[in-house]
Amino acid sequence: MAQRSRIVGAAVVLLLVGAVLSGCGAAPVAQNWPGLTVEGDTVYVISGLPQQVYMLDVENGQPQGTFIPSGEHQGVIYWSPVAPGPEAAYVGFGESQTGIMALFAFDPETGQELWSAPAQDLIIGAPVYADGMVYFGDSAGILYAVDAESGTSTWSFQAEDAIWSPVFVHDGRVYVPSMDHYLYCLDANTGQEIWKQKLDGAMAEPPSLAATTGTLYIGNLDGKVYALDLESGEPDEGFEFQAENWIWSEVLIEDEQLYVTSLDGKLYALNADDGSAIAPFPSDDAGSPLRAAPVLAGESILVASEEGRVVAVDSETAMPRWEWPGGAPEAGVLTTPVVQDGVVFVVLLNGKVQTLDAETGAQIWTFEPPEGE
């Protein structure tokens, strides 16, 4: 029964991805969920048709460069979000016709390709840079640890099913969520398994750490949030929360409260001790399923909906403070917005980037890749 649940769960997820891939229209359409990363003065976004990495000026959205692996790419292209490091940026790339599946490193200023490290299957989750290493998983269930400077493999680890989530790296350990229902804890230097904990469903995003208590909180496609001990992986039996649909997002921890979104369309606030809901939440003002994670912006919690709305919800009253856009949404949002220096960065499923004032929701600048690129 457990194996069948894993297969059905993965199939449904693939159907969701397939629905995105089948979209069409006059504007450039993302061939998979567009990644969005903001680091310092640069916004990295997967956009255009064919897709490529655009490096945008954070102040005005002007393109500073692009990256796509060398060679011709005629099939469907798949990307992970970009992970910046001190000397390079890293992105997963897959191309259906040639069968290229690899992690690529590129110069964040020029877009020059630096090296590639092969994978066995699609890289869905963002790679993670930590302490001179880059960690990334693939859909074959393999986690790779490669040297950030050269791309040389250091070790790999085989899970029982696909790894679609980024990992969480902390204090010499790598925490790996998998579609096989296990959260793995590995030694960051060797890849040796320290512990693994089986949950009731698959995980598509990494855990969040409450440092004061040493507790990992992780959302699950069974609709639950789990609280696990950082050192042992043992679940907190006194913690319990169940949403009405999948939880695909990371858990936001703020002031000893948890915020989490669900495909049931609600933003929940939870007590970190026991998982009980905190009134007056949940909020369902976004009006459609929520795949993106909640984001803190001052005194607001931002949620972005599958329909394409971004709503700022007061963190105490659960009342909406502003909503974007004012009219009908142009395209959906599945990627978590990024907040930096009072600016909200949002990427739509058509590859357009919109920036908003975090306090008012007023539009600042918009990026749309030139037609025909």
- The string of pLDDT tens digits covering residues 288-311 is 999 999 999 999 999 999 999 999
Kindly give, in sequence order, each residue whose CB lies less than 8 Å from that of residue 219, ignoring residues fewer than 6 positions away: 203, 205, 225, 247, 248, 249, 250, 251, 260
Q: How confident is the model at residue 33 (pLDDT cuts 50, 70, 90)?
A: confident
Which tokens go with 186?
């590995």
Classify residue 219: in a domain, yes or no.
Answer: no
Higher pLDDT, 241 or 4: 241
- Quick one: pLDDT at residue 5? 29
CATH number of the domain within which 20 lies: 2.130.10.10
Q: Give the tens place of pLDDT for each residue, 45-66.
A: 999 887 899 999 999 999 999 9
Which helix (H) or strand (E) is 47 found in, with range? strand 42-47
On the question of pLDDT at 110 being above 50, the answer is yes
Answer for the pair 93, 105: CB distance below 8 angstroms, yes or no: no
**Counted domains in the chain:** 1
In sign, the C-alpha dihedral spanning 245, 246, 251, 252 is: negative
Classify residue 248: in a domain, yes or no.
Answer: no
In which residue are the tokens 């500073």 written? Answer: 64
Q: How confident is the model at residue 370 (pLDDT cuts 50, 70, 90)?
A: confident
How many angstroms separate the CA atoms of 167 and 146, rounded?
A: 14
Classify residue 155: in a domain, yes or no.
Answer: yes
Classify residue 280: in a domain, yes or no.
Answer: no
- Report which residue type is found at 150: S
Classify residue 261: in a domain, yes or no.
Answer: no
Q: Which range, of 9-18, 159-168, 282-291, 295-304, averages the lowest pLDDT?
A: 9-18
Q: Which residues pair with 259 in a beta bridge?
A: 252, 269
- Quick one: pLDDT at residue 31? 37
Instruction: Give residue 39's domain range.
Output: 1-184
What is residue 102's three-state secondary structure? strand
Higher pLDDT, 150 or 75: 150
Higher pLDDT, 323 or 51: 323
- Quick one: pLDDT at residue 279? 96
Quote the percentage of the chain above a pLDDT of 90.
Answer: 83
- Quick one: pLDDT at residue 372? 54
Model's pTM, two decimal places?
Answer: 0.91
- Quick one: pLDDT at residue 87? 95
- Quick one: pLDDT at residue 30? 30
Report the pLDDT averaged over residues 217-222. 97
Quote the percentage of the chain above a pLDDT of 70.
Answer: 91
- Quick one: pLDDT at residue 32? 56
Classify residue 296: in a domain, yes or no.
Answer: no
Q: Give the tens place of pLDDT for each residue, 350-364.
A: 999 999 999 999 999
Q: Give the tens place of pLDDT for each residue, 177-201.
A: 999 999 999 999 999 999 999 999 9
Q: Which residues pair with 45 in a beta bridge?
A: 36, 54
Q: Which range, of 8-17, 261-270, 297-306, averages the lowest pLDDT?
A: 8-17
Classify residue 70: in a domain, yes or no.
Answer: yes
Which helix (H) or strand (E) is 193 found in, with range? strand 193-198
- Quick one: pLDDT at residue 207? 98
Classify residue 43: in a domain, yes or no.
Answer: yes
Please count the residues of the chain. Answer: 373
